[in-house]
Amino acid sequence: MEKELSVKHLMAEIGMGRLFQSVGGANSGLGRIASAVTGLMLIAAVTVQPLGVTPAFARGAPDSFADLAERLSPAVVNISTSQTVSAQGGRQRPPGLPDGSPFEDFFDDFMERRGREGIPRRVQSLGSGFVIDPSGYVITNNHVIEGADEIKVIFADGTSFPAELIGRDSKTDLAVLKIETEKDLPFVPFGDSNSSRVGDWVMAIGNPFGLGGTVTAGIISAINRDINAGPYDDFIQTDASINRGNSGGPLFNMEGEVIGVNAAIISPSGGSIGIGFAIPSATAIAVVQQLREFGETRRGWLGVRIQSVTEEIAEGLGMDEPRGALVAGVNPQGPAQEAGIEPGDVIVEFDGKAVPEMRDLPKLVAETDIGRKVDVLVIRDGQEQALKVEIALLDETETAEAEPDEGDKENEAGTVEVLGLGLSSLTASNRQKYKVPADVDGVVVTYVDPASAAAQKGIRPGDVIVEVAQNDVRRPGDVVDRVAEEKASGRKSVLLLLASGGDLRFVAVRIRDAN
């Protein structure tokens, strides 16, 4: 667009120069001035771009979305679901009824009466979807069809088909349906969401509030959004109007490719405020392929518990900057254990790909083929160390249970105070008092100064300090000694590994006021 404007502007100026020439003559004073001005403009237009720099021109807004909408709409469908809900107490809001509706009290009274009568209800809901294969495969959100007894796919011309659920994935909120038909269906292809940029035009088609075939347009507002919807969040944010009922519908680029599956909105009022989120096609394609092939997802498993690396934790580990995923625990039956990954390691690279933040690692692991051996780069004791891990299959239903050690060895008694914490040995009585599992060893926190940095980090009585600066501790004196060593080395904070409620986590606590 900038290039077009500059050319038009230049042509207009050239035309003005010719006008001056025609009025005053090419050799007249006025004509010479006009020619000189035009020449300067030509020079400016040619030399404004620095040498060696390639200009990046944003694609302009289309004159109309009509051709695109007309071509794509036949492949976008309404998803109608129904299920029987047993009568139960509590307020039940009818699907699609907005807050503050004048009919709200009427429906509340009606539903309360039916609840008292113990009458099961048949609940219907509407969502969106799109056909990705002419043989009848349809994509939608998992939350659109979850718990449904009956699913129907309705096309723009009113044709309705019963749908079979092929597979669904709650972690990415995707589902694959299949309808049977004798003729090929209109369909739309997936595009590459990784090539999309903030500011690109996008178009959504869906079924908001039951209004099928609704077309809205906007731009990509942001990418790689984490909205705490699941472990693999990587949403596209758009200001294209998305409302209730748009869930499961496609988000198109200007080539007519699906680069996102509309999934969520932020809306205090229930309507669009210009903040909508779509699952990127880069995530959806792999999940859809697995659901079609296996009826379930098959994700890679590393067998570690991880947490973010804050600035204070990075300083406590001797890292120049916070990056990577900090390993808080290792599953004894997992691939990481066999590969030699240890608690306190920071995974900064996985399979040749950088891990800038903690949330990047689960996505990389999940997308890795089962049984594949990959290189993992960790930071341990301030030094990089390369390891090789064979990725296993993640059992989504498995719950790991810790096996208690045999017997309970009495630790040496003693109570001290450091970092604003009262510490005591982990005796049998303390284990019983604070409900510390038998397989946890360390020093128990008995008191926390509410004004201390430790309190600000969420440390509570009953937490067990397992490690200080990545060294095991068994007595309160061990904690004091390790903190003193870190303080003497010039550290501003000390890294603690805490066991709390059955989980392990690292916490960096400031030590400038340590005893």
Query: Cβ neighbours of residue 401 under 8 Å, at least 6 residues apart?
Result: none
306 contacts: CB under 8 Å, gap ≥ 6: 325, 326, 327, 328, 347, 358, 361, 362
CATH number at residue 323: 2.30.42.10
Domain boundary, last residue among 262, 297, 332: 297
| Residue 318 resides in a domain | yes
Catalytic residue among 125, 128, 169, 173: 173
Q: Are residues 291 and 309 in the same domain?
A: no
Instruction: Determine the Cα–Cα distance for residues 277 and 265; give it in Å rounded to an integer.
Output: 6
Helix, strand or coil for residue 336? helix
226 and 109, same structural domain?
A: yes
Determine whether 125 is an active site residue: no
pLDDT at 438: 76
Q: 133 in a domain, yes or no?
A: yes
Strands 201-206 and 150-154: unpaired
- DSSP at 190: B
Q: What pLDDT is attached to residue 231?
A: 82
The answer to whether residue 9 is catalytic is: no
Q: Is 267 a catalytic residue?
A: no
Q: Do 378 and 451 fall within a single domain?
A: no
Pairing of strands 493-500, 503-510: antiparallel
Contact 500, 405 (CB under 8 A): no
Assess if residue 497 is contained within a domain.
yes
Residues 31 and 6 in one domain: yes
CA distances (Å), origin 331, targets 203, 344, 385, 390: 44, 14, 20, 14
Range of the structural domain that residue 341 is part of: 300-393
Which of 297, 316, 334 represents a domain boundary (last residue)? Answer: 297
73 and 198, same domain (yes or no): yes
Written as one string, the DSSP assignment of 280-314 is: EHHHHHHHHHHHHHHSS---EE--EEEEE--HHHH
The whole-number pLDDT of residue 34 equals 42
Residues 318 and 267 reside in one and the same domain: no
* pLDDT by 10s per residue, the chain, length 515: 333 334 334 333 334 333 333 333 434 443 443 444 334 333 233 333 444 444 445 566 788 999 999 999 999 999 999 887 665 544 455 544 445 544 555 555 555 555 555 566 777 888 999 999 999 999 999 999 998 989 999 999 999 999 999 999 999 999 999 999 989 999 999 999 999 999 999 999 999 988 989 999 999 999 999 887 778 889 999 999 999 899 999 999 999 999 999 999 887 777 788 999 999 999 999 999 999 999 999 999 999 988 888 888 888 888 888 999 999 888 888 999 999 999 889 999 999 999 999 889 998 999 899 999 999 999 998 889 999 999 999 886 543 332 333 333 333 344 678 888 888 888 877 888 888 887 788 889 988 888 788 888 888 888 999 888 888 888 888 888 888 888 877 778 888 888 887 678 888 888 765 44
Give yes or no: residues 379 and 290 share one domain. no
Task: Examine the domain organization and report whether 180 and 136 are in the same domain.
Answer: yes
Residues 328 and 220 in one domain: no
Quote the number of domains for the chain: 4
Q: Which residues contact 369 (CB under 8 A, 6 or more apart)?
A: 300, 391
Q: Does residue 407 form part of some domain?
A: no
Domain co-membership, 127 together with 211: yes
Q: Which residues of 143-170 are buried (b: 16+ CB within 10 A; e: fewer)?
A: bbbeebeebbbbbeeeeebebebbbbbe
- The CATH number given to whatever domain includes residue 194 is 2.40.10.120
- 446: tokens are 């008995």
* pLDDT for the residue numbered 267: 76
Domain presence at residue 434: yes
Residue 225: inside a domain: yes
208 falls within a domain: yes
Active-site residue, selected from the candidate residues 80, 128, 196, 247: 247
Task: Name which of 100, 400, 423, 135 is nearest 269 in CA terms.
Answer: 100
Are 13 and 114 part of one and the same domain? Answer: no
First to last CA, the chain: 65
Alpha helices, H only, 403-442:
428-434
Whether 473 and 441 share a structural domain: yes
Spatial separation of the C-alpha atoms in residues 400 and 419, rounded to whole Å: 33
**Which one of 264, 297, 330 terminates a domain?**
297
State the pLDDT at residue 27.
40
Confidence (pLDDT) at 483? 86
Catalytic residue, chosen from 143, 169, 193, 345, is 143
Two structure tokens written together for 175: 């589902």
Tokens of 136: 């009848």
Cβ-contact 274, 101 below 8 angstroms: no
Whether residue 54 lies inside any domain: the answer is: no
Residue 497: per-residue pLDDT = 87
- The reported pLDDT for the residue numbered 11 is 37
